[in-house]
Amino acid sequence: MSAPLHSFGVFALESGAPLARALLDRDAASMLADHVSNDLQRLLPGVERLDLAIAAAAFDPAELLRPGWPRHAALAQLALAAPGRGAARVLGFGAADGAMPAGLQPDAALAGGALHLVPFALLGGADALVAVGRAMEERLLDTGMADASTALFAQTAFGTRLEHVRYMSVHDLCALTAMQYEHAGLGPLWPLIEAALLAPGSEEWLDAPPEPLARFADGEVRIALLDLDAWADRGFAPAGVDANTLSRRFDAFQRRQRQFAAVLGAHGIGVQFDHCPATRDPREVLGS
């Protein structure tokens, strides 16, 4: 039997505080999967013909928005290995002894945000999956609120008051994250992340002084590492400022570089700093 195709989505929990529990045990995972299955059958006609697999663990958005969708891919592989293929299944994967199955353990260093995401995967034949996948993209963002019973179960299971509980495709999640990054002052970085997620074979530049100069290609981002003179000579520095102000602005520029590198790292995107002397064009160095 050939491997089924898949569509990826998230069960999104918005709270004003960290979750009391980021992992659910296997029994709770099974119950959560049943709730999610009922909701998706209401929202996405035809989904009952597909396998539904859900990882009962809450992730930060950056953990799910990584090249190759590794958390969702691990979930799909678990579903493929589970018994009972041939009929539509509802599969909830939970924790045993405080640990999720391989590839599905949230990174504790990224916990603590207001948006918590539980990944799910739909698997099945091409005809059914294409129709359901199209419906996911067209409907979930506008109509994907969870049923009240599902929201109440999630609130009890994760032990934290939830303000909103809804469903999104991973493309909806990309759009939401792009908007949030824009509001947080990280908008210039998003095109590099988007390229890594959706067009990993492409090339994308961030070339918008006074932002750091960066290039995505070959699966990583290269950032131009400039000393103060090279930074000033390349037009990154504001004109007509004294030496102390110039030094402070350069320090701020370097902090911005480190911030960009940290965000890219959270998204699982490799970063390389390339020293760019004043004698060479930084675009030439990054493009070599």
Confidence of residue 180 (pLDDT cuts 50, 70, 90): very high
Give the C-alpha separation, 154 to 32, whole Å. Answer: 7
Tokens of 22: 């980021």
List the beta bridge partners of residue 274: 224
pLDDT at res. 12: 97
pLDDT at res. 4: 56
User: Is the pLDDT at 1 greater than 50, yes or no?
Assistant: no
pLDDT at res. 265: 97
| The CA-based dihedral angle spanning residues 203, 138, 158, 68, taken in that order and rounded to the nearest 10 degrees | -30
Task: Identify the DSSP state of 100.
Answer: P
- Phi, psi for residue 29 in degrees, rounded to 5: -65, -40
Residue type, position 43, single letter:
L
Report which of 142, 120, 122 is spatially closest to residue 130, judged by C-alpha positions: 122
pLDDT at res. 277: 84
Domain ranges of the chain: 5-169, 187-287
Look up tokens 């002084």; give the residue: 209
Confidence of residue 69 (pLDDT cuts 50, 70, 90): very high
pTM: 0.93
Percent of the chain with pLDDT strictly greater than 90? 78
Report which of 210, 243, 208, 167 is spatially closest to residue 8, judged by C-alpha positions: 167
User: Is the pLDDT at 194 greater than 80, yes or no?
Assistant: yes
What are the pLDDT digits (tens) for 220-239?
999 999 988 888 877 677 77
Give the C-alpha separation, 163 to 155, whole Å. Answer: 9
Give the C-alpha separation, 217 to 205, whole Å. Answer: 9
- Phi, psi for residue 141 in degrees, rounded to 5: -60, -35
Give the pLDDT mean for 279-287: 88
Give the C-alpha separation, 98 to 94, whole Å. Answer: 9
Q: Are 14 and 164 in contact (CB under 8 A)?
A: yes
Give the pLDDT mean for 194-219: 95
User: Is the pLDDT at 2 greater than 50, yes or no?
Assistant: no
